[in-house]
């Protein structure tokens, strides 16, 4: 299993989106997201960003990820 951490920016204000990383453990993905948000001061000023973690089963394949594969949404409590 793999965990893809995604930062969805804001198209209205020009904030870019970013694939933060791909991890082999959910705990590593959550830690990386916390570190990324802190390093980029997105906890303070990241109102226009949404952060997601998707669970995927294999690499080198098309993953039709929907909300069924979403394990973290920044609008939820962590």
> pLDDT tens-digit profile of 16-33?
899 999 999 999 999 999
With a cut of 90, say whether residue 3 has pLDDT above it: yes
With a cut of 80, say whether residue 44 has pLDDT above it: no
Average pLDDT over residues 7-20: 87
Query: Per residue in 56-73, is it b (16+ CB within 10 Å) or e — as a string?
Result: eeeeeeeeeeeeeeeebe
SS3 72: strand
Whole-model pTM above 0.75? yes
DSSP 8-state assignment for residue 17: P
Average pLDDT over residues 36-47: 79
- In whole angstroms, what is the distance from residue 21 CA to residue 45 CA? 21
Average pLDDT over residues 55-77: 78
């Amino acid at each position: 299993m793999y965990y893809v951490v995604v930062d969805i920016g804001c198209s209205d204000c020009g904030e870019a989106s970013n694939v933060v990383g791909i991890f082999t453990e959910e705990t590593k993905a959550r830690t990386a997201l916390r570190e990324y948000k802190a390093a980029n001061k997105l906890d303070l000023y990241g109102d226009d960003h949404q952060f997601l973690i998707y669970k995927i089963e294999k690499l080198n394949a098309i993953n039709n990820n929907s909300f069924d594969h979403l394990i973290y949404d920044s609008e939820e409590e962590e």
